[in-house]
Amino acid sequence: ELEEDRILKLKNRRKKAMQLDKDRGHNTYDADDVERLYKDLARTVQTAKRELNADIDDKLPAEEEELLLSDDLDYADGGAEKEEEEEEGCLKIYYCSRTHSQLSQFVGEVEKTVYGGENTRVVALASRQNLCINPDVARLKSGAMINDRCLELQKNRSGKATAGDGSGGNTKGSKRSKSSHGCPFNNTAAIRGLADQVLTKVQDLEELVKRGKQSKACPYYAARTAVRDAQLVVVPYNSVLQPSTREACGIKLRNNCLIVDEAHNLLATLAAVQEVTLSYAQVCGSKAQLEQYLRRYESRLSARNLLYCDQILFCITAFIQTLQLSAPSGRSKVSSLRYQVAADELVPVASFLSACRADNINLTTLLRYLSTSKLAHKLHGFVQMFEGSVAIKKPVKSASEDAADNNKAFRESFWTGLVAAGVKVNTKENNAPVETPNESTTATLTETDIITAGGNPFMQVVELLQRLVSSNESGRILVHRDDTIRKNSYIKYVVLDPASHFHDIVKQCRAVILAGGTMKPLDEFRNELFLSAGAPSSRIAEYSCGHVVSPDNILPIALLAGPTGKTLDLTHANRQHVDMVREVGRVLCNLSAVVPAGVVVFVPSYHYMQHLLQVLRKDGIIDRIAARKKVLEEPREAGAVGGILSDYASTIRRATAAASNSGTKPCTGAMLFCVVGGKMSEGINFSDDLGRCVVMLGLPYPNTQSPELKERMKHLDATQVRSCSSDGSKGEGRSPGAAYYHNLCFRAVNQSIGRAIRHRNDYASIVLVDQRYSRASTIASLPQWITRRLITANKFGPAQAAIAKFFARHKARALKENGEKS
């Protein structure tokens, strides 16, 4: 009853807002009448097309009709996703974080507080990919394809499924029925009802999806509808940082508050949101798909459609030519590039377009065409239609012969184009890639050969074109060519000043809060995100709180020398030396003797980790460590990370249980080697026995020869003022580029060592192995909860003794507590 009262109040508020719109003179109209007009117009256009193409004798199958490009582009997407203009409602707090799991965890924490009651209206936003409950749409691989399909289904809002429609149907009838009706969950009344329910109780995304399925209402649009009346909106990073997504989701930041959690990733996320990488395989696959599509439907397309498609092919061919520097064959063959684009150098967008001979094409108009025609979606459907159902029994014919042959021969041509472009073709028996036929060989195909095209490479082409159009002065193009392995070549759009995309957010919001556990160094956030956006320094406040654990539970040591007295200098020039590697091995071997349970060792790179382990194995040091702790290393493959972590945790559990039961210590735990900035340096918590000691080998400065890094440092030096040193004098301060380089390193260090000590009763030792950790500038870049307790050890012996004493004290405390409990 209480929930119904609250829903009633919300409805009354909405009625008042709608009445206010009407009083202001907003036009009202019957949406059904407008929709009927669009349908009549579309029907007229289709009839005219059929009459125009009446002389074509081979009639198109019904399931292929939706693949044709429409010529009524001015009306094709006129009202697909228009939202009601409403008042902004109440003051809102937008909370954003990196992943949906973190957002769900935050919503759970809100429920536990005094603000988790009935009077707090919380809405969790997410993408269609996370909230869609239509099985026919949700099963699409790409988020962009899900968006396009959703908008397409909105054109027919009958909501009634026809016979043969289903989540697993792949007959011709079911294919046709999918486009013959709207989404059954796009019911306005049901969506409004679900939106009202969302506001009556704090609930996460899983609960929202569950309620959507129960009420047969779209959770995605229900959440967006509920935003207007919400007080707290929980949303992922990308939905706030991308202006187009922000607008589509109805997020209005003006005079509202924004909280960015895990903000140490903010600058990297801003850069990643803007970056687009187009690989050689993707651009070749896009060319093959579009050429085969035009070969199939060219006679049915208008001159306008053909013109735009030829322009797109021209751009794609220019991209291919940029990567291989040879004139490709095919429909849109171009003579040559205007001039050669330098490899592995960042060039301005205008220079890249000029080199590709694409500067005379109106890319803005071309992108508008791609949006209204939904060409990417149609190409995806075209590939899917001929995927997995083609049995070819004879050798592939030439392209000209195939074009004049029947539908089966066309599919052979389609296969040939994809294979020539590098798309994998698998067999049913062994699922092994078939070799790509070249000019000197003839491919003989059997009934077991089928087309398997994954993803939608054309979407990456569209993304790159969008960046080329919207680029500002900090946008650059990086062309990487690999003549040995051509598939490793790529074109990448990068942004030298990603923070500039945050400036509008700073100017609109009433307040912006950046929160994180390891935010130091802070000067980068202050200068790039706020001061450069015009925010006065008086409005910028910094707050840092201490760690929740007791000082007795943390033992940070800066280790300057090894067991033999050799100075630990792990700079890039010295760390590869065998003598230095052996000294590091002795350090790790001695630590394994005094540290219980788990030891996590962070190294600067995969290459150094392999070199380190190779030398230590050859000298037998790894065997000595393995006598006490099982040695594991971070894999390069993301899919293998879970297995390594499981092995690491289970080994420690068995060792701890064996030690407590028998008192013997054949194996005291495990030692895990991880890469800074890798798969295990962030987002994984090594709490309690999983991380009793964290060892940081050296300082993980990035590669100074990276063209992106060099150009970004150069850009910062040219656009920002020199930073001040700790005493306030500019003379000793770093240049903006050097400060950025320094901050990249220490943000990675702080993230890595923050993997341990995850709750107030946890304890661990942190060993920083490098003589540079004794420098004042280095210490100033570490978190205060580390620097307040940091011990600088010039000799290894006292450091090892302090570590042994630290763990002996905690073991005695644990035994005492267990004795008191028993």
What would the DSSP string read from start to end of 350-394? HHHHHHTT-TTS-HHHHHHHHHHHTHHHHHHHHHHHTSS-----S
pLDDT at 462 exceeding the cut of 80: yes
Q: How confident is the model at residue 51 (pLDDT cuts 50, 70, 90)?
A: low
DSSP result, 508-558: H-SEEEE--S-----HHIIIIIIGGGT--GGG--------SS-GGGEEEEE
pLDDT of residue 102: 83
Report whether 780 contacts 726 (CB < 8 A): yes
pLDDT at 1 exceeding the cut of 80: no
Q: How confident is the model at residue 33 (pLDDT cuts 50, 70, 90)?
A: low
Q: Where in the chain is the domain with CATH 3.40.50.300?
A: 551-700+758-821
90 or 592, which is more confident?
592
d(CA 217, CA 238): 25
Strands (E), 431-509: 449-451, 475-480, 490-495
Strands (E), 203-318: 232-236, 257-260, 276-279
254 or 387, which is more confident?
254
pLDDT of residue 88: 55
730-746 pLDDT tens trace: 445 688 899 999 999 99
pLDDT at 674 exceeding the cut of 80: yes
Q: In a 3-state reduction of DSSP, which class is residue 343?
A: coil
Q: How confident is the model at residue 13 (pLDDT cuts 50, 70, 90)?
A: low
52-104 pLDDT tens trace: 554 444 566 666 767 777 765 554 444 444 444 444 568 899 999 888 888 88
Mean pLDDT of the chain, nearest integer: 79
pLDDT of residue 57: 44
d(CA 621, CA 615): 9
- The neighbour count for residue 599, using CB atoms within 10 Å, is 30
pLDDT of residue 332: 45
Strand pairing category for 511-514 and 257-260: parallel
821 contact partners, CB below 8 Å, separation of at least 6: none
- The neighbour count for residue 405, using CB atoms within 10 Å, is 14
482-540 pLDDT tens trace: 877 778 899 999 999 888 889 999 999 999 999 987 787 788 888 888 988 888 888 99
pLDDT of residue 171: 37
pLDDT of residue 48: 54
pLDDT of residue 8: 72
Q: How confident is the model at residue 403 (pLDDT cuts 50, 70, 90)?
A: very low
Is residue 330 left, alpha or beta, with left meaning phi > 0 and alpha meaning psi from -120 to 50?
left
Q: In a 3-state reduction of DSSP, which class is residue 233?
A: strand
- Out of 83-97, 415-429, 434-448, 735-749, the most confident range is 735-749
Candidates 385, 412, 418; CA nearest to 400 is 412
d(CA 222, CA 217): 7
Strand pairing category for 449-451 and 425-427: antiparallel
pLDDT at 186 exceeding the cut of 60: yes
pLDDT at 563 exceeding the cut of 90: yes
d(CA 771, CA 557): 11
Q: Does domain 551-700+758-821 correspond to CATH entry 3.20.20.100?
A: no
Q: How confident is the model at residue 398 (pLDDT cuts 50, 70, 90)?
A: very low
191-236 pLDDT tens trace: 999 999 888 888 888 899 999 999 999 999 999 999 988 999 999 9
